[in-house]
Amino acid sequence: MATASSAEKTKALVDAAGNPAAAMPLGAMGLDGDGQLVRKNDDGQVDFTFSYLGYQFAVRANVEPGHTRMRIHAVLGHLPYTAEAPDLRSNMRAVVHEAGRALGGRISITREQRILFFDEFNFDETLTPKSLLTKTVAFLLSAKPYLELLALIAGASKAVYALLPPPEDAAPAE
């Protein structure tokens, strides 16, 4: 195949983007022998991170022709120790429990007391910008009320604890 000019690559990209029937794959792009836009390499993995409601999310998609496996996860924080804030711990556990029940176990507490939010999607299509955004947004919208509530509880309790006077030094033992 002859080397395609920048103008040819741009035209192929614009043509592919304007054609809803053409699934434009993610990754390094190039032109095949027929002038069609294709992935240059077939490493099959797309990784990225983003922030939503103050939480950092990571996405990994493993792509094969006609099939995609996508995993999204975030650590939403840690449960406070009971000795630090028993009410906060109890409230956060209740929210995580209800969120886990409502969302099919996608929010849980690990043995290390981290609040973990994850989901995995398998779909029989090539990963495109449209399918990537659709799956990610659907995932986030289903959990938005719980994410907001966890942030509210954690933020409110930090503000309340900041108003408390610092602990007094204990008198030395005699």
Angle between helices 86-102 and 129-163 (to 10 degrees): 160
Claim to verify: residue 22 and residue 97 sit in the same structural domain: no
Same domain (yes/no): 56, 140: yes
Residue 129 shares a structural domain with residue 49: yes
1: pLDDT confidence band, cut at 50, 70 and 90? very low
108: in domain = yes
Q: Would the CA dihedral through 17, 23, 29, 31 be positive or negative?
A: negative
Phi-psi region at 23: left, alpha or beta (left = phi > 0; alpha = psi -120 to 50): beta
Specify if 170 maps to a domain.
no
Q: Is residue 173, in this structure, part of any structural domain at all?
A: no
Task: Say whether both 122 and 151 belong to one domain.
Answer: yes
Q: 41: which DSSP letter?
A: -
Mean pLDDT of the chain: 77
Same domain, yes or no, for 27 and 93? no
For residue 2, pLDDT beyond 80: no
- Which pLDDT belongs to residue 56? 92
Look at 14-18, 80-84, 113-117, 162-166 and tell me which has the smallest mean pLDDT: 14-18
Q: Do the domain assignments include residue 172? A: no
Where in the sequence is the domain holding 23, given as residue range(s)? Answer: 1-41
Residues 30 and 66 in one domain: no
Both structure tokens of 38: 């294709």
pLDDT digits (tens, 9 = 90+) for 25-62: 555 555 667 766 565 555 677 788 888 988 999 988 88
pLDDT score, position 44:
72
Q: Identify whether 174 is part of a domain.
A: no
Average pLDDT over residues 147-165: 73
Q: In what order do the strands lie in the sheet with 107-109?
A: 45-52, 55-64, 67-78, 114-123, 107-109
Query: How many domains are contained in the chain?
Result: 2
Q: Where are the beta strands (DSSP E) in 20-161?
A: 29-31, 37-39, 45-52, 55-64, 67-78, 107-109, 114-123
Q: What is the pTM of this model?
A: 0.65
85 lies in the same domain as 138: yes
Say whether both 82 and 115 belong to one domain.
yes
pLDDT in tens, 96-140: 999 989 888 889 999 999 999 998 988 887 777 777 888 888 888
- Within this chain, do residues 75 and 146 fall inside the same structural domain, yes or no? yes
Based on the domain organization, do 96 and 152 belong to the same domain? yes
